Amino acid sequence: MKRIPAFLPAFLAGCSMLSLIALVGCNTSETAQQPVTPTEEAPALVPSTPPQSDLPGDKPAAVGRKITIYAVAEDADGNRTLQPETVALPGNFATTPALFALESLMNTAKSPIPEGTKLRSVKISAEGMATVDFSAEFKENFPGGDSAEALLVNAVLSTLGQFKSVKTVQFLVDGKKIDSLGGTQSLDEPLPVPQGGGSNPIPDIATPPFAGTGGR
């Protein structure tokens, strides 16, 4: 029986250790050469415009709720006034009743809104200001006259005044403020809505609309 030299186990153990170090070293080198791709959590999608409601945080309006709009009526003598009409709120406008009210006002047969006008947007702030943005036809197709101006402005203010959250209305055309329509009523600043909303009689349409504050 041959005797194994005493140094051989130590030699073999040393070779194994060197092989292991070399293997680990190779793996480490390969890992370091691989490009590192940083992982970032995708940001949550936030709507650019929050859903509109009568007041931020309010529950959606009840389907079938009666919405009041103010159309033009003319008597036998040719005198024109604003008369209330009611329309039922459909389900797809449950969270946007103010938008529905103005679109209904624009589409009624006796609307005071100039023909061809489009409603670009309606936004209601937490402070109670309704910003209403009309297309260019709102100003371009306005027929002129103090009475027509008062009818138009008062119709919008009275229609929006039925919503408890709306205290003032800012008129915009193509996203910009305008001085006025017929030159009588200034529109460059927010106008107050009727106090108490649409349940109160609207003022004389021949006068500038709703002078004073819109608080309730």
Predicted confidence (pLDDT) per residue in 78-122, tens digit: 889 999 999 998 888 888 899 999 999 999 999 999 999 999 999
Q: Is residue 22 part of a domain?
A: no
Kindly report the backbone phi and psi dihedral angles of residue 46, in degrees, each rounded to the nearest multiple of 5, phi listed first.
Answer: -115, 125
Q: What is the pLDDT of residues 160-216, one digit of tens each?
A: 998 888 999 999 999 999 999 988 889 999 999 986 444 444 443 333 343 333 333
Q: 91 lies in which domain range?
A: 66-199
Q: Is residue 137 predicted with pLDDT exceeding 90?
A: yes
Nearest CA among 184, 129, 117 for reference residue 151: 184
Instruction: Name the token pair of 85.
Output: 């009409």
Domain count, the chain: 1
Q: Is residue 192 part of a domain?
A: yes
Q: Is residue 164 part of a domain?
A: yes
Exposure b/e, 46-58, CB count within 10 A at least 16 = b:
eeeeeebbbeeee
Query: Comparing 90 with 135, which gets the higher pLDDT?
Result: 135
Q: Is residue 36 part of a domain?
A: no
